A and B are shown apart, each in its own frame.
Chain A
Amino acid sequence: AQRVTQPEKLLSVFKGAPVELKCNYSYSGSPELFWYVQYSRQRLQLLLRHISRESIKGFTADLNKGETSFHLKKPFAQEEDSAMYYCALSSGGTSYGKLTFGQGTILTVHP
């Protein structure tokens, strides 16, 4: 069975500090991973996908198949980054596109 683990429920940093939100996964196939974000009073939305290897709002995430990780990183956190972050894994096979979410990490960036 596939599983996504986000070990930190809460993460606090100061503005300008680096931030890393951890995500580990368990999946027997070739993983497709995503980070979703929920800002206060906004809807849950896609932040980035591993296949795009993109940087969104200064965030990057690298898939490490050896360590089965997909950590989200930003070198200089901003107050507007405060939000709930979810790591998600897409199923394969006949249920392709179904997502399994981690428990979520609430990031607070202090001024």
Chain B
Amino acid sequence: DADVTQTPRNRITKTGKRIMLECSQTKGHDRMYWYRQDPGLGLRLIYYSFDVKDINKGEISDGYSVSRQAQAKFSLSLESAIPNQTALYFCATSDLGGLGYNEQFFGPGTRLTVL
């Protein structure tokens, strides 16, 4: 779905470097999410934002920070990258939806390697 974009798509960095992953959406959704995907662990939520002024920690927020610059933009930062943050990172968006009809729309993913 071209409505949710992530940059960069691939990044190799070194331990201790600061990294920012960016997500943009043109779907007009208020809600945005950052996940990481690891083999055998599935998708785990890092941070989520229900509107521009609302930021919430997910289950694995340590070592990460986020910024919601606008309704359409949600950035994930690794202040000092470490090797166990090597993973595939996904951004997603959703609207409030009706009961049971919440659907999240995912970006293409950013593959991050920390050496």
Contact = CB atoms under 8 A, between A and B. Distances in A.
Contacts of B44: 101
Contact of A99 (B1, B104, B107, B109): B104
B43 A86 contact: yes
Nearest to A97: B102
B56 A95 contact: yes
Interface hub of A9, A45, A46, A101 (most chain B Cβ within 10 A): A101
Contact of A98 (B1, B45, B105, B106): B45
A27 to B, nearest CB: 14
Contact of B43 (A90, A95, A104): A104
B100 A97 contact: no
Interface residues of A, number: 25
Contacts of A95: 56
Contact of B42 (A6, A45, A97): A6
B67 interface: no
Nearest to A44: B106
Nearest to B98: A51
B102 A32 contact: yes
A65 B42 CA distance: 23
A48 to B, nearest CB: 11
Given A86-B43, A101-B42, A45 B106 contact: yes
Interface in B18-34: 31, 33
Contacts of A36: 104
5 contacts: A32-B99, A44-B106, A49-B103, A97-B96, A98-B58
Given A96-B102, A97-B96, 20 more contacts: A32-B100, A43-B107, A43-B109, A45-B1, A45-B105, A46-B103, A51-B99, A51-B100, A95-B56, A97-B31, A97-B50, A97-B94, A97-B97, A97-B102, A98-B45, A98-B58, A99-B102, A101-B35, A104-B42, A104-B43
- A-B pairs with lowest CB-CB distance, top 10: A51-B100, A103-B42, A101-B43, A44-B106, A97-B102, A104-B42, A32-B100, A46-B103, A43-B106, A101-B42
